[in-house]
Amino acid sequence: MQIIVCLKQVPNTNEVKFDTKTGTLVRDGVVSIINPDDKNALEEAIRLKELKGGTVTVISMGPPQAEYALREALAMGADEAILLSDWAFAGADTWATSLTLAHAIKKIGRYDLIFCGRQAIDGDTAQVGPELAEHLDLPQVTYVKKIIYIDNDKAVVERALEDGYEVIEVTLPAVLTAVKELNIPRYPTTSGIMDAFNVKKVSVWGIAQLASAAGLVGLNASPTQVKRTFSPAVKGDGELLTGSVKETVQTLLKELQEKHVL
Amino acid sequence: MDFALSPKHEMMKAMFREFAEKEVAPLAAELDEKSEFSWDLYRKMGQIGMFGLPYPQEYGGAGADYLTFVLACEEIGRACTSSAMLINGQNSINSGPIYRQGTEEQKRKYLVPIITGKALGAFCLTEADAGTDASNQQTTAVPDGSEWVIDGTKMFITNAGLADIYIIMAMTGTGNNPKGISAFIVEKDAPGLSFGKKENKMGVRASQTAEVILQDCRIPKENLLGKEGEGFKIAMQNLDSGRIGVGAISLGIAQAALDESTKYAKERQQFGRPIGANQAIQWMIADMATELEAARYLVYRAAWLRDQKKAHSKEASMAKLFASELAMRASVKAVQIHGGYGYMKEYKVERLMRDAKVCEIFEGTSEVQRMVISRAALT
Ligand SMILES: Cc1cc2nc3c(=O)[nH]c(=O)nc-3n(C[C@H](O)[C@H](O)[C@H](O)COP(=O)(O)OP(=O)(O)OC[C@H]3O[C@@H](n4cnc5c(N)ncnc54)[C@H](O)[C@@H]3O)c2cc1C
Ligand SMILES: Cc1cc2nc3c(=O)[nH]c(=O)nc-3n(C[C@H](O)[C@H](O)[C@H](O)COP(=O)(O)OP(=O)(O)OC[C@H]3O[C@@H](n4cnc5c(N)ncnc54)[C@H](O)[C@@H]3O)c2cc1C
């Protein structure tokens, strides 16, 4: 089974700090990690490989230091790594990002399964996975929390919903996006880390290697216009209802009705 | 000159830290309280490859180096000294003698299981009357046909009773002569091998310490390690890596003491402001932070020298001496900064202070380190 995992290197913080003047991310001094959901995607891919054989290829678009996110993936057990890094790719929105990834995946050629994380903890849009499926004209299942069955032609998966889950059968190749409930990612072994640097390699593709994507990547090919970036105002304190259970429930129901929640 | 860790070492360190925070730290207080060795942690560390860091991959090691070993001891030591001792022991004194002096067969049979986490090791030098004066060995080994017969009692042995493989020092020559000492490999089920009661210790309580008793203990001839008469040399050579390891564990303890202190100094309010607003507290923290940096580079450099295959006995002693005494000082200060709360078991600093003490004692007391260092300085 040929599996491709898209992973993004992100700053290790849930609270992305903005420079309010420039409207950009303050990345200084923040340690970079593999986006958490992408680690679940990678773990599942490695488990499938261990079960079914095949290869896991990891691919990331980002600055040169994203190499280390890919090396960590190699240390965990991925076989091949491709870094999409070029000034031409810079400033991409989700559309341009997913299109660049799609061109790279087409160039790789062979795949049964493409895994993304549900969402990146910095960009936070959860758009890249679904867009990628559209660009590649593949079926997609988002929020995958369990793979129940898989062979070379189809997969049966559980798709997480807010209050339950759906069981979905999908033909392969397909794009799946992973949520953290899918598994607990392994620690890379120490010899895995050594091999990730000394034996395995990270190929770097720039626009020259992705000629098919010329003119379709980076800031100029990004339809999104960012008007302003800001931290939303902090929500006010909640209201605490006191009294007997009966009283508080009645007050609550009344207030919810007044606010047209019920 | 370059003080930065390589990306490879950074990745190792990040992994050790994550493992320490997620797997080790949540268990540390309870293991200490119950004085319990965690087989589960031992297995997990073995699977990740934390026991064979400086050894080649052909023996199941990581193919990394002593700097990586230091990072592992330091990061795990931040969470739990006992668990860090396991990493130190398996990577150094429990395995080094077999790696360096063992035959190919001994390496396959004993080294591979130890460094892949399938067998726990122990290193048995100390006796009731052979502590600092380690060459005063009373344990004897006498050849008898195809066997060695070993008699004696080893004291304060880490992992005694739990370990599968014991490296034992015993006299094969005569008199109080280091050249009369030889090293042997004894398996747990060897006839005549038994264990004394588990010691009830001040600190590192999740590391088991007990006597190893050899009474007419018979082992095959081929379990002699190295040549006859080389035992003391083997012990001393491998203590250098163990000392670097204890230095690194001490860094972990001191770092934890500093982390807890800065956190508490910002949180705890007295006289209407955080205690950290007082210069008395600030100065304690400044000293801890400064000395920790100094200790860290002594330890890292000793490991680096070893990796470069350069002489490093003196530097290993300096690193061990300075870092362990710092761990003690810093943990005492950390308890002081916590006031009465620091004296209670609910706070980590209480355990840090008990754990720190042993780092000044085992693998050569501070006095022994000063002897090594002054000997080098005076010649
Ligand atoms: C502060 C800030 C400013 C931004 N400014 C702009 C801007 O000016 N103009 C603009 O157009 N966009 C901007 N973006 C959006 C940015 O381009 C997106 O972060 C990027 O396109 C990916 O989207 P996402 O992070 O929401 O990922 P998601 O869609 O949330 O990611 C889902 C999954 O897709 C995969 N994935 C996502 N990105 C990559 C990647 N690079 N390589 C490999 N796999 C990947 C991963 O598997 C990931 O889990 C900004 C984002 C931030 C946080
Ligand atoms: C928790 C723990 C685990 C241990 N694990 C092991 C193990 O796995 N294997 C093993 O072999 N040993 C182990 N030991 C033993 C340890 O190495 C010894 O305790 C240590 O070497 C000191 O020996 P001693 O206890 O006999 O002290 P002593 O040698 O009696 O020393 C008492 C004091 O006198 C000082 N002193 C002695 N001689 C001199 C001198 N010439 N000049 C100045 N001062 C001197 C010492 O520094 C010390 O302060 C362990 C000990 C502990 C506490």
pLDDT tens, A197-220? 999 999 999 999 998 888 888 888
From chain B, the residues in CB contact with A68 under 8 A are 7, 10-11
For residues B221 and B237, membership in a common domain is answered with: no
Flag whether B167 is in a domain.
yes
For residues B257 and B359, membership in a common domain is answered with: yes
Q: Report the Cα–Cα distance between both ends of chain B, in Å, rounded.
A: 29
**A20 vs A230: CA distance, rounded Å:** 7
Nearest-by-CA chain A residue for B61:
A191
Flag whether B63 is in a domain.
yes
Question: Which residues on adjacent β-strands are paired with residue A34?
Answer: A9
Give counts: helices (H), strands (E), chain A: 6, 13
Helix (H, G, I), strand (E, B) or coil at B247: helix
Give counts: helices (H), strands (E), chain B: 13, 10
Given the residues B23, B211, B350, B363, select the one marked as catalytic.
B363
State which of B213, B228, B243 marks the end of a domain. B228
Flag whether B2 is in a domain.
no
For residues B237 and B374, membership in a common domain is answered with: yes
| pLDDT category of residue A23 using cuts at 50, 70 and 90 | low
Nearest-by-CA chain A residue for B6:
A197
Flag whether B278 is in a domain.
yes
Sheet with A113-117: list strands edge to edge: A164-171, A154-161, A140-150, A174-178, A113-117, A2-6, A55-61, A80-84, A202-205
**B192 vs B219: CA distance, rounded Å:** 9
Complex confidence, ipTM: 0.95
For residues B265 and B343, membership in a common domain is answered with: yes
Instruction: Give me the percent of chain B exceeding a pLDDT of 70.
Output: 99
Q: Is-cis flag, bond preceding A173, omega within 30?
A: yes
Flag whether B1 is in a domain.
no
The values of phi and psi at residue B186, to 5°, are -120, 130
Dihedral angle computed from the Cα positions of residues B41, B47, B49 and B55, in that order, rounded to the nearest 10 degrees: 110
For residues B40 and B11, membership in a common domain is answered with: yes
> H or E element: which one contains A133?
helix A128-136
**Which positions ≥6 away from A211 have C-beta within 8 Å?**
none
State which of B228, B251, B281 marks the end of a domain. B228
**Which positions ≥6 away from B13 have C-beta within 8 Å?**
B5, B71, B75
Hey, are the CB atoms on B48 and A190 less than 8 Å from each other? yes
Give the right CATH number for A2-221 from 3.40.640.10, 3.40.50.620, 3.10.580.10, 2.40.50.1020: 3.40.50.620
Flag whether B72 is in a domain.
yes
From chain B, the residues in CB contact with A72 under 8 A are 11
**Which positions ≥6 away from B102 have C-beta within 8 Å?**
B110, B111, B185, B225, B226
Nearest-by-CA chain A residue for B48:
A189
State which of B71, B98, B115 marks the end of a domain. B115
Identify whether B21 is a catalytic site residue: no
Strands A80-84 and A202-205: parallel
Flag whether B222 is in a domain.
yes
Hey, are the CB atoms on A194 and B19 less than 8 Å from each other? no
Nearest-neighbour CA in chain B from A194: distance (Å): 7
**B160 vs B164: CA distance, rounded Å:** 9
Q: What is the pLDDT of residues B245-281, one digit of tens each?
A: 999 999 999 999 999 999 999 999 999 999 999 999 9
Residue B362 Cβ inside 6 Å of ligand 2? The answer reads yes
Find the CATH number of the domain harbouring B170.
2.40.110.10
pLDDT for residue B13: 97
Q: What is the pLDDT of residues B135-160, one digit of tens each?
A: 999 999 999 999 999 999 999 999 99
User: Under a CB-based contact definition with an 8 Å cutoff, are residues A47 and A68 in contact?
Assistant: no
Instruction: Name all residues whose Cβ lies below 6 A of ligand 1.
Output: A 6-8, 25, 35, 37-38, 60-62, 91-94, 97, 101, 116-117, 119-120, 122-129, 222, 224, 226, 229
Hey, are the CB atoms on B15 and A71 less than 8 Å from each other? no
pLDDT for residue A227: 84
Q: What is the pLDDT of residues B34-86, one digit of tens each?
A: 999 999 999 999 999 999 999 999 999 999 999 999 999 999 999 999 999 99
**B358 vs A123: CA distance, rounded Å:** 48
Nearest-neighbour CA in chain B from A187: distance (Å): 7
Is the CB of A191 inside 8 Å of chain B's CB atoms? Answer: yes
Is the CB of B68 inside 8 Å of chain A's CB atoms? Answer: yes
Structural domains counted in chain B? 3
Flag whether B81 is in a domain.
yes
Domain encompassing residue B106: 7-115
Q: Report CA(A120)–ligand 1 centroid distance (Å).
A: 7
Q: Which of B365, B372, B373, B375 to mutate to test the pocket of ligand 2 (most atoms within 8 A of CB)?
A: B365
For residues B206 and B144, membership in a common domain is answered with: yes
For residues B274 and B215, membership in a common domain is answered with: no
Is the CB of A188 inside 8 Å of chain B's CB atoms? Answer: yes
For residues B241 and B373, membership in a common domain is answered with: yes
**Which positions ≥6 away from B342 have C-beta within 8 Å?**
B334, B335, B336, B349, B350
Nearest-by-CA chain B residue for A196:
B8
Please enumerate, as own/partner, the contacts of A24-30 that have beta carbons within 8 Å and a separation of 24 or more.
A24/A229, A25/A122
Is the CB of A187 inside 8 Å of chain B's CB atoms? Answer: yes
Residue B103: count other Cβ atoms within 10 Å of its Cβ.
Answer: 13
For residues B248 and B363, membership in a common domain is answered with: yes
Ligand nearest to the CA of B137: 2
Does the predicted TM-score (pTM) go above 0.90?
yes
Dihedral angle computed from the Cα positions of residues B327, B332, B336 and B341, in that order, rounded to the nearest 10 degrees: 90
Mean pLDDT over B312-339 rounds to 98
For residues B98 and B132, membership in a common domain is answered with: no
User: Under a CB-based contact definition with an 8 Å cutoff, are residues A131 and A21 in contact?
Assistant: no
